Amino acid sequence: MQPETKLAAVPTGVPMGQTWHTTREGAMDRVCEILGREGGPRLAALAGRSGSGKTTAAAAMVGERGPIRPRVGETEDQARARMDRVRVLFPDGVVWLRVGKGEGAADRLLNLMRKLATKLHENVLKKRVQAPAVDEDGESYAKNVLSQRALRCLVVADDVWEASVVEKLRETGMWVLLTTRDVSIVEPDETVMLDELTEAEAEGVLRGAARLPAHEH
């Protein structure tokens, strides 16, 4: 009997899915490939225009999995493993951080990183270690507690607009999955473009929203 795979808990604040949401399997594969690279913490960015489904895709990767629907020739366990393949990379925990425009400004960035440190403390470390002190930098706190315990944690930073936020996230020592409309704030080999649905995916969304029967390929 194989030991049960350790899976990160669903982070608080992650957006809920809709029945018509489509799983961007290609994007998920690419994110796994980037975050699974060897040599320490990595960053992957889901990039695309407003409404292209970046947040939905990120939420699907770390949120509650929906009904398990095995593909042809796939067992239920295999389907489950496919759906959990991002969460399984981070057995020690995942944090969902809503960022938003303007949070990278010098006067807001420290607060954002404090928010991350607090979430890390409450959601991942479960208060096993001391909370960040008021006059402690969020990124330093994360870096110290994670390196001391050799933890492998992911932060999903939703709606990032500024390179300064990206830089701060890199300094935490956490693996980072972010969503952004601006590809210039990350490296090309870290980017997973989500601008358009494929025609089949778009048709699936339209059918789902219009409650039409699923397309049969």
Partner 1 sequence: MNDDAIEILKVCGYVAMDVAFVGSWSSVRTGNDGVPKSRQAWTDVKKQIETQINAVRGEAGRAGDTGDLEINRLAVLRAGFKYLGAEHPLAQELYMALAVFPDGYAFEGSDAAVLLNDDGAVADHLVQTAMTTVAVLERWAVLRTSTSGLYHMHDAHMKFAKESLVDRGDIRKQAVRRWSSHISRLEVAIDIDMHELLGLWRALSRVGGSDWEMSPPYDDQLVQMDSSNPLKFYAVAIVAELYLHAKSSSLFKLMERVVNGCRGRTAPETGVKMTALWYRSVGLGNMGLLAEQAEVRHQLAELIGDTPQLWVPDEGNYTQRSTIFNIYGFSAVTAGRLEEGEKWFRRAKAAQEDGGLETNGQTALALHGLGHCLREAGRPAEAHSLFFRALTILKAKLGIGDLMIAWTMQELGKCAMALGKPDQAAASFKMMLQIVEARLGVDNVNFAEGLVQLGGCLFQRGRWSEAERQFRWALQILESSLGRDDVQVAGVAWIIGACLGRSWRHKEAEGFFRRTLDIREAKLGPNDMSVAEALEGLGMCLQGYSLPERRFEEAAVYLKRALEIREAKLGPDDVQVAEALIKLTGSLRGAGRHGEAAACGERALKIRETKLGEADGSVVRTLDWLGRCTREGGQFREAEALFRRALTIKESRLGPNSFQVRATLGELARCLREAGRSGEAVGLLQRAVEIQESMGEPDTSPVSDRLRELGCCLREAGRLEDARRALKRALKIRKSKQGRSQSQGVAQLLDELRLCDRKPTRGSGFVRTFNFFPVFVRLFVTP
Write out the residues near partner 1 by the rule CB under 8 A.
Answer: 10-16, 18, 20, 22, 49-53, 55-56, 63-64, 96, 100, 107-108, 110-111, 114-115, 118, 121-122, 131-135, 196-199, 201-203, 205-213, 215
Please say which residue, 16 or 150, places its beta carbon nearer to partner 1.
16
Least CB distance to partner 1 at residue 39 (A)? 32
| Local structure of residue 30 (DSSP, 8 states) | H
3-state SS class at 46: strand
Least distance from C-beta 42 to partner 1, angstroms? Answer: 25
How far apart are CB 102 and partner 1 at their closest, in Å?
9
Give the C-alpha distances (Å, rounded to integers) separating 185 from 138, 176, 178.
21, 13, 11
**Minimal distance in Å, beta carbon 139 to partner 1?**
14
Q: Give dist(CA 95, CA 87) in Å, integer.
A: 11
Q: Say if CB 194 and CB 57 are below 8 A apart.
A: yes
Judge whether 27 and 204 are in contact, CB under 8 Å.
Answer: no
Residue 191 bridge partners (DSSP) = 45
Min dist CB 75 to partner 1, Å, is 29
Spatial CB neighbours of 66, under 8 Å, sequence gap ≥ 6: 17
Decide whether 68 or 110 has the Cβ nearer to partner 1. 110
| Rounded CA separation 183/62 (Å) | 22
Sign of CA pseudo-dihedral 12, 44, 59, 92? negative
Nearer to partner 1, 6 or 101 (CB): 101
Kindly tell me which of 40 and 128 has the beta carbon lying closer to partner 1: 128
Smaller CB separation from partner 1, 22 or 172: 22
